[in-house]
Amino acid sequence: MMSEAIKQPDALTQATVTIAWVIVLNKPFYPVYVWYLVGDGVVASLATLLSAPLFLAIPFLAGRSPLAARIALPLIGTFDTLFETKLFGSASGTELFFAACVMLVALSFKADEKWWQRGMAVLVFAVFVFSRNFIDAPLRVWTAPELVTFFNLNAFAVASLLAFIALRYAGISRT
């Protein structure tokens, strides 16, 4: 017999968990895309897997603190984007993932959580500005054709993620 009933998370937290799972399940494919499309830099791209356990923690965090889970997703995404921008460089298009982080901030909070939402929006933007102004040379040097391929890969990935986020959060009340 269970001492407590399992509480179903609210709709916003359920959407957050779904997005976290999509990211976790897609992370292992990124090095494969790099290998197939770019042809070089697979070892460097394996470093992108370092954040997977953080994204994986979000569904478990949601059961304990829905608000913490909804804060964690754009927060982890923001610092993952910063790391990948340092790894691949600004020209790779990884900074485009900040747009997904901002969209998550815009959609993940209830009306009475507006100060959390505002704070997260400022944080994501501040990290973006830091990235644009203080990230120097990438950890790995890429050729111009590799960077074009990387940019196209990341632009497609961001557009896909943004569309999925919009579809997943559609119709969810924030009251």
* Sign of the alpha-carbon dihedral angle for 122, 128, 130, 132: negative
Alpha carbon distance 157, 151 (integer Å): 10
pLDDT in tens, 83-137: 999 999 999 999 999 999 999 999 999 999 999 999 999 999 999 999 999 998 8
pLDDT in tens, 14-52: 999 999 999 999 999 999 988 888 887 888 889 999 999
Asked whether 101 and 152 are in contact (CB, 8 A), the reply is no
Task: Say which residue the tokens 């960077």 belong to.
Answer: 147
Packing angle between helix 97-107 and helix 114-134, nearest 10 degrees?
A: 170
Alpha carbon distance 157, 62 (integer Å): 25
Give the residue extent of every domain in the chain.
11-169
